[in-house]
């Protein structure tokens, strides 16, 4: 007589839908199942946009745990194993601050989904894990394997401290559903101490950038199976993601893989925040978590590889009051460089066409929570930060690109929509244009038709470029940028969806010409 456990297991198996039966990929729906070099994946049809299929969790590297913690990503072996790709992967380990910010007070859709943990826990994100090196793919539903659609490969921002795939404002289903003619890939990569440890025993301090490159290599090798064209990948990032894109154009200048780039609010010329060339930050943390080996870097690293990741994240962010610790990219002269002007002069930059963009009022959202939220930060501080860190580094990057005859297209986002910028001083803040690019402007309620029109225009310009980086933008009236020439402004204060403006108006103040307008 069979055991009770066997009976229960048999009943449970008979209750499963037929899609789960069997052991080969042929038993899964063809339109939702894709074979790759590293496995077979069955995704889902988006519940709100029926014209979109999603593969939410596809690993692109081995889990960076145990002895692989703080090592360059390791490629996955070839495999025929079947996996369901219906849930987003955990974000890489990161901290959720309790401090007030514009994000957690007004725009939580710009933050990772932290489940029931909320967005002000003051502890490691409960939805994070070291086993996080995965990507997600959005394609039109029913797209054929040989469709050769252009691919936008997106790297999220977060100051190299946070970020991930499951950020509501950065899910591209609306855009893919609207066009039915392109694919979007977004990725996780290691951040903070896990992505940029800069430990004395390590040869590679910029592991997060290496993660990005391995994900790009995986996409180039496998995107054809999803209907994408491996020769039509646009490498796209925002903020820290944009800086990462530019880093990759310099570090892999002779093999960028991508045929174009979209560098959104950030370039390689934004100053590196970490100057810890003595490895002091890693050693300081090690000393305080029981790994004090001041004369033995290898022992320090081996010990630190055994410390639970929540202990490390929480210590750095909650128990350090006298020493400010930053783990971010550092010039190692292999992945990140101390002198990008010199690199460009040597011709060591990928000369693929690029879009480079800014928001009109970048630092409105980057100055911390103001003493009086109704008044906001000092306008002069916003102006200085917007120019120095963002607009003028963009202008300088464009000059470097022009010196190498690399085609560059510029836009400025100036939209001031009340559902995205509920406080009157916010304006077109850093990251505001992400809602437009991804078509998620309705997440904060009460979007207007004008807002939707701006989003469509921005999406159409980017996609025209992604399809044909050399001529696609020109065909819709977007001329390549030279100092003083054409910049497209989206959503300006005059109520127009898009207009051509002089580059002097935006970049001139960087060279002592004119006054910059934070609300054009």
What are the residue numbers of the active site? 239, 362, 430
Burial of 159 (0-12, 13-18, 19+ CB in 10 A): middle
Q: How far apart are CA 473 and CA 354, in angstroms?
A: 11
Please report which helix (H) or strand (E) contains residue 35, including its range: strand 33-36
Nearest to 386 by CA among 425, 427, 358, 423: 358
Any alpha helices (H) in 252-296, and if so which ranges? 280-288
Contact, 62 vs 76, CB < 8 A? yes
Nearest to 223 by CA among 249, 173, 189, 184: 184
**Three-class secondary structure of residue 353 per DSSP:** coil
Q: How far apart are CA 39 and CA 27, in angstroms?
A: 15
Q: How far apart are CA 368 and CA 97, in angstroms?
A: 12
What are 53's strand-pairing partners?
45, 139
Helix, strand, coil shares of the chain as percentages rounded to 5? 35, 15, 50
Q: What is the 3-state secondary structure (H, E, C) of 183-220?
A: EEEEECCCCHHHHCCCCCCCCCCCHHHHHHHHHHHHHH
Contact, 408 vs 481, CB < 8 A? yes
Nearest to 207 by CA among 334, 394, 103: 334
- Tokens coding 436: 């437009």
First to last CA, the chain: 80
Other Cβ atoms less than 10 A from the Cβ of 518: the count is 18
């Amino acid at each position: 007589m069979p055991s009770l456990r066997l009976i229960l297991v048999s009943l449970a198996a008979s209750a499963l839908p037929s899609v789960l039966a069997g052991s080969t990929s042929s038993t899964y729906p063809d339109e939702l199942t894709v074979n790759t070099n590293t496995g077979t994946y069955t995704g889902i049809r988006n519940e709100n946009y029926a014209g979109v299929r999603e593969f939410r969790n596809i690993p692109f590297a081995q889990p960076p745990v145990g002895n692989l913690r703080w090592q360059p990503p390791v490629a996955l072996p070839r495999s025929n194993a079947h996996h369901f790709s219906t849930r987003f992967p955990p974000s890489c380990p990161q901290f959720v601050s309790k401090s007030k910010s514009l994000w957690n007070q007004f725009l939580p859709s710009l933050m990772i989904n932290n489940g029931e943990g909320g967005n002000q826990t003051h502890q490691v994100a409960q939805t994070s894990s070291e086993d996080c090196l995965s990507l997600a793919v959005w394609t039109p539903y029913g797209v054929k394997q040989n469709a050769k659609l252009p691919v936008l490969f997106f790297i999220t921002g977060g100051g190299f401290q946070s970020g991930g795939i499951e950020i509501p404002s950065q899910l591209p289903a609306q855009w893919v559903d609207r066009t039915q003619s392109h694919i979007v890939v977004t990725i996780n990569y290691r951040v903070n101490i896990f992505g940029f440890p800069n430990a004395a025993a390590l040869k590679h301090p910029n592991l997060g950038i290496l993660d990005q490159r391995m994900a790009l290599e995986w996409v180039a090798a496998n995107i054809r199976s999803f209907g994408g064209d491996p020769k039509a990948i646009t490498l796209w990032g925002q903020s820290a993601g944009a800086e990462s894109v530019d880093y990759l154009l310099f570090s892999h200048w002779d093999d960028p893989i991508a045929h174009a780039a979209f560098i959104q609010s950030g370039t390689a010329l934004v100053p590196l925040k970490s100057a810890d060339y003595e490895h002091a930050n890693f050693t300081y943390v090690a000393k305080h978590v029981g790994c004090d080996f001041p004369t033995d870097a290898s022992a320090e690293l081996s010990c630190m590889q055994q410390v639970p990741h929540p202990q490390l994240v929480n210590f750095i962010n909650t128990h350090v009051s006298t020493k400010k610790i930053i783990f971010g990219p550092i010039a190692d002269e292999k992945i990140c460089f101390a002198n990008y002007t010199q690199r460009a002069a040597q011709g060591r930059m990928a000369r693929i066409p690029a879009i480079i963009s800014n928001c009109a009022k970048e630092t409105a959202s980057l100055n911390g929570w103001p003493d009086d939220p109704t008044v906001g930060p000092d306008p002069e501080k916003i102006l200085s930060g917007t120019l120095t860190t963002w607009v003028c580094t963009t202008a300088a990057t464009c000059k470097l690109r022009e010196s190498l005859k690399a085609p560059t297209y510029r836009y400025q986002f100036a939209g001031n929509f009340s559902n995205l910028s509920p406080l009157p001083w916010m304006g077109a803040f850093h990251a505001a244009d992400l809602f437009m690019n991804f078509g998620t402007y309705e997440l904060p309620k009460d979007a207007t038709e004008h807002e939707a029109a701006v989003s469509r225009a921005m999406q159409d310009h980017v996609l025209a470029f992604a399809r044909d980086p050399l001529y696609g933008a020109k065909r819709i009236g977007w001329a390549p940028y030279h100092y003083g020439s054409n910049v497209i402004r989206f959503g300006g204060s005059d109520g127009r969806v898009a207009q051509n403006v002089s580059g002097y108006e935006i970049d001139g103040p960087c060279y002592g010409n004119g006054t910059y307008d934070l609300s054009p």
